[in-house]
Amino acid sequence: MADEAAGIWKAHVTPINGKDQGRQNVNGASPVDDGHKVQAPTDVDTELPPRWVRIAIMLSLLALLALAPILVAVTFLSSGALSRIAEEHARAVVGVPWAGGAALIVVLVLRSSFGRIEFRVLGIEFKGASGPIVMWFLCFLGEIFSIQLLW
């Protein structure tokens, strides 16, 4: 349904038996197998690297994102810098992760209690996947501002 509305995928229908029976959906594809074969579009992006290269890059980035914080934490713990940073910047070390978790809880509670999150801010309507994301961002900003103001 979303593909039909967005027009993301277009199909070309060719009758196999020479007769077009006229039963086609928005994209031109036959809703049932009535002698038509559906051909995929031929405009393929040839500038993309091969699939295995994209997978290798993705796995490398995931490994880097998983290992880098561990290496930084071990380095800070061994030098004693972590405790100094935690004492000097308690708002950042404690407050920011707390604000992110609290914003997530607010969004999840609202979604489970009242259903899908849809709202309008300054004339812009947020619904679907954007609703919870924008709601989390606004809650997070409000909590960070409160921490800055009150701490």
Which residue ranges make up each domain of the chain?
1-44, 47-80, 89-151
Q: How far apart are CA 68 and CA 20, in angstroms?
A: 59
Sign, Cα dihedral of 25, 31, 37, 41: positive
pLDDT 10s digit of each residue in the chain, 151 long? 554 544 444 444 455 555 555 555 555 555 555 555 555 555 555 677 888 888 999 999 989 888 888 888 888 888 888 788 888 888 888 888 888 888 888 888 877 777 777 878 888 888 877 878 888 888 889 988 888 888 7
CA distance 106 to 4: 34
How far apart are the C-alpha atoms of 110 and 104, rounded to whole Å? 10
Q: Residue 56: its pLDDT value, please?
A: 92
Q: What is the pLDDT of residue 6?
A: 47
CA distance 71 to 41: 47
Residue 18, pLDDT score: 53
Q: Give the burial string for 103-121 (b: 16+ CB within 10 Å, else e).
A: beebbeebeeeeeebeeee
**CA–CA distance, 142 with 72 (Å, rounded to integer):** 29
- The pLDDT, as a whole number, for residue 37 is 59
For the question of whether the overall pTM of this predicted structure is more than 0.75, the answer is no
DSSP 3-state helix, strand, coil percentages of the chain (rounded to 5)?
A: 60, 10, 30
Is residue 33 within 8 Å of 12, Cβ to Cβ?
Answer: no
Handedness of CA 101, 105, 107, 111 (dihedral sign): positive
The pLDDT, as a whole number, for residue 9 is 47
Contact 118, 131 (CB under 8 A): yes
